[in-house]
Amino acid sequence: MAFDEAKKDFNLIGTRPARPDGIDKVTGRAQFGADKAAPGQLHAAILRSPHAHALIKSIDTSAAEKAKGVKGIVTRADFATGLKGEMWNKLENVMAGEKALYDGHAIAAVAATSALAAKDALKLIKVDFEVLDHVTNVDESMKDGAPVIREGAAGPGTPEGMHPNVVGFYSSGHGDVDAGFADADLVIEDTFTTEATHQGYIEPHACLAQMGKDGKGEVWCCTQGHFNVAKVCGHLLGTEASQIRVTASEIGGGFGGKTEVFIEPVALALAKKTNRPVKLVMSRSEVFRASGPTASASMDIKIGMKKDGTMTAGRGVFRLQGGAFPGAPGTFTAMCAFAPYALENVSQEAYDVMTNRPKQAAYRAPGSPMAAFAVESVVDELCNQLGLDPIEVRLKNASREGSKASFGINWPRIGLVECLEAAKAHPHYSTAIPENGGRGVSCGFWFNHGGETAVSLALAEDGTVSLSVGTPDIGGSRASMCMMAAEELGIKYDDIRTTIADTATLGYNEISHGSRVTYASGLATIEAARDTIKKLCKRAAAKWGIDEDAVYWEDGFAKPSGPNAGEFEPMSLTKIASKMGATGGPIVGHYEATPEGAGVSFAVHIVDAEVDKETGSTSVGRYTVIQDAGKAIHPSYVEGQFQGGAAQGIGWALNEEYIYGEDGRLQNAGFLDYRIPVASDLPMIDTVIVEVPNPGHPYGVRGVGETSICPPLAAIANAVSNAAGVRMKSLPMSPPRILKALDEA
């Protein structure tokens, strides 16, 4: 679907009204996952494996069953059998079968009359484990002799002869990279690593579930995709998605981590067994041990450059650690790596590797930030050694409309050059670099996504509108939906109420992922409003006794389209709505589609950092985000996405990492030891919204949520490397790593 003429004159779009859920959220009224209770509810708790890899020889729940307040216990035996492929993997992750595959893997769950009683009962469950050898490092896991997580898990296309832990492979490219390297004046080749990080949403996973003997279930939970929760629960409980109505609560952050399903099937199984509502809330330590994290990576990059800055060839090999299940985002890593550059010769390949860690989950542009870190570090080093300006070099090689992408497509209209030009012109780039400091620049790329979407828009007799969307609002998207609907209909922002409809109320909607909500639900909202307008015009035409084609809609009024149509007083939406009962009944617009025109998005970040060479600590001084939003619907929330992505990137670059002991157990499963950036760690984060309209959206919108985390790892690494005078090749650049690098330099 191409919208040749993106709408340009707006009344509301681009303004900054207060969000419709704002008052609820500043007064404590908003109900998040753990905020709901049901009469007679039980509280559940999950027993988790203390071992990284172990056979589960037996589980004895008899003592726990007799404990005070305990009403029911479930193990794997209480879930569906005969599942295959992805649904088997999901069940295996939700509740272990024959083996515990990582520290924190669920083994059994208890429902009791209080949370304390449930936790007490966990201690009475006896599990006979036979501990097995484990592996948590990606490079170790690929080696001969590494413990096998699971035989036969490799997907199609995985090269033969590799270790069974290698379960996915991707490769692409074009040209002749060896010839390209031969043409270069300077070739740099190096290896980079990043550690697993957690999405770090402040709200732990939480749900409230009921399920009767008739097999009909209800779930209230914090999720990025409640339709997906229904689907997964249906499979795992041996019923149908349609039998389980899921309502998305307010969601306290997701960043990709709440696209997965962990606890809802367990709560449903307990509810079914006890015939009582069951509330299940993860602790923070469970969130770290058994949800998220992102993949870790080990990457080899080789790039050739001429003295004038022309990049002659690029090659990347990426090894992504995805935990105890297939699904690491290696394909995305490889595709994003060289995306900012129009290379004649490029090749990339990626390996998806299993280890004894929790299953990796999406984290904001999954796979892309680590690729940018590796590639953009080498680009920076080439610029340094050849004495070239990093933005000029990027401009010289930048992907642009019509050029061939590193992964094969021909680029449509994209905004990388505009972002680079804006970066070059930004005052930040021309200020002096602080003494003892360094400046880093990086590009970043993300695809963005459309996906299955359904929207319904109903008029009330008072002329207000109820808009139902099926994509959980993870960052203020209801404000954007209200704005787009009001813009089309020509009514006030405050006259639209946007609701996230439950799974029994609206057609199927894909998860809120892929930066798709403002794009896809926004597009569907606009189209549903246009569908409503047709119906409004029809009512006016009937009233005036003219053909409906002779009526058009402008600024909230039906109007006759010209002198030939006749002279009639324009009729407002409110007036048509007030009479709709007598003129044909309810007026409801709707739209269902799988839009495929999500415009890709590029960003450029500039950062100044100072490194204390005595302590190895880094402070981020000035930070500027420049990103193509296509069209910013609500600029405050676009800026918020830019700033949030940058802040998460700062954490990933400098501090955050999953630390495993030799016993394969996670050693820092809490916010004290897994330290995310706090207010005193960060500077203000300046933003520049570039708007190169996406032809796939009626207003030109491109998704903005994910691209903002693609450049920061590299931009900060470049700043730190330039400040410290030594190339940092492993993230996070925590003080011990910086001191080690300085020592070795």
Partner 1 sequence: MIHVTTTINGDETEFVCDPRETLLDVLRDRLSLTGAKEGCGTGDCGACSVTVDGTVVCSCLVLGAEAEGKEIGTVEGIATGEDLHPIQQKFLDHAALQCGICTPGILVATKALLEKHPDPTETQVRYWLAGNLCRCTGYDKIIRAVMDAAKDMRSAA
In the complex, the residues that contact partner 1 under the rule CB under 8 A are 16, 18-19, 21-23, 25-32, 34-35, 37, 114-116, 199-204, 250-255, 281, 283-284, 474-476, 634, 636-637, 639-640, 643-644, 646-648, 670-672, 676-682, 684-685
User: Would you tell me the crossing angle of helices 390-397 and 368-386 to the nearest 10 degrees?
Assistant: 110
- The answer to whether the Cα torsion of 508, 512, 513, 517 is positive or negative is positive
- Please name the amino acid found at residue 208: L
Between CA 339 and CA 108 the distance in angstroms is: 45
Between CA 218 and CA 277 the distance in angstroms is: 9
Question: 198 or 319, CB closer to partner 1?
Answer: 198
60's CB contacts (< 8 A; 6+ apart) are 125, 126, 127, 128
Rounded to the nearest 5°, which phi and psi values hold at 357? -135, 165
Radius of gyration of the chain (CA): 27
Instruction: Copy the structure tokens of residue 714.
Output: 């590299």
Question: 14 or 695, CB closer to partner 1?
Answer: 14
Task: Compute the least distance from the CB of residue 637 to partner 1, in Å.
Answer: 6
Question: 169 or 658, CB closer to partner 1?
Answer: 658
Is the bond into 698 cis (omega within 30 degrees of 0)?
A: no
Task: Compute the least distance from the CB of residue 229 to partner 1, in Å.
Answer: 18
Question: 391 or 638, CB closer to partner 1?
Answer: 638
Between CA 548 and CA 541 the distance in angstroms is: 5
Question: 69 or 507, CB closer to partner 1?
Answer: 69
Question: 138 or 710, CB closer to partner 1?
Answer: 710
Question: 142 or 281, CB closer to partner 1?
Answer: 281
Between CA 564 and CA 487 the distance in angstroms is: 28
123's CB contacts (< 8 A; 6+ apart) are none
> Residue 249 to residues 36, 219, 508: CA-CA distances in angstroms?
9, 10, 17
Task: Compute the least distance from the CB of residue 672 to partner 1, in Å.
Answer: 5
DSSP H or E run through 186: strand 186-194
Task: Compute the least distance from the CB of residue 44 to partner 1, in Å.
Answer: 14
Q: Exposure pattern of 11-36 as b/e (b: 16+ CB <10 Å)? A: ebbbeebebbbeeeeeeeeeebbbbb
Question: 316 or 677, CB closer to partner 1?
Answer: 677
Q: How many residues belong to the chain?
A: 745
Question: 281 or 422, CB closer to partner 1?
Answer: 281
Task: Compute the least distance from the CB of residue 25 to partner 1, in Å.
Answer: 4
In sequence order, the β-bridge partners of residue 610 are: 437, 619
Task: Compute the least distance from the CB of residue 719 to partner 1, in Å.
Answer: 17
Task: Compute the least distance from the CB of residue 682 to partner 1, in Å.
Answer: 6
Between CA 720 and CA 733 the distance in angstroms is: 8
Task: Compute the least distance from the CB of residue 517 to partner 1, in Å.
Answer: 13
Query: How many other C-beta atoms lie within 10 A of the C-beta of residue 243?
Result: 16
Question: 255 or 519, CB closer to partner 1?
Answer: 255
Task: Compute the least distance from the CB of residue 94 to partner 1, in Å.
Answer: 22
Instruction: Copy the structure tokens of residue 546.
Output: 């003219």
Task: Compute the least distance from the CB of residue 118 to partner 1, in Å.
Answer: 13
- C-beta of residue 380 within 8 angstroms of C-beta of residue 440: yes
Task: Compute the least distance from the CB of residue 281 to partner 1, in Å.
Answer: 8
Question: 61 or 512, CB closer to partner 1?
Answer: 512
Between CA 641 and CA 644 the distance in angstroms is: 5
- 296-305 and 186-194 beta bridge pairing: antiparallel
Question: 37 or 659, CB closer to partner 1?
Answer: 37
Query: How many other C-beta atoms lie within 10 A of the C-beta of residue 9?
Result: 5
Question: 532 or 618, CB closer to partner 1?
Answer: 618
User: Would you tell me the crossing angle of helices 368-386 and 330-337 to the nearest 10 degrees?
Assistant: 30
Task: Compute the least distance from the CB of residue 469 to partner 1, in Å.
Answer: 17
Instruction: Copy the structure tokens of residue 320.
Output: 């992504």
Count CA atoms within 13 Å of residue 236 on its CB side: 32
DSSP H or E run through 207: strand 206-211
Q: What distance lies between CA 534 and its chain's CA centroid? A: 36
- Please name the amino acid found at residue 202: I
Task: Compute the least distance from the CB of residue 484 to partner 1, in Å.
Answer: 17
Question: 3 or 32, CB closer to partner 1?
Answer: 32
Task: Compute the least distance from the CB of residue 460 to partner 1, in Å.
Answer: 23
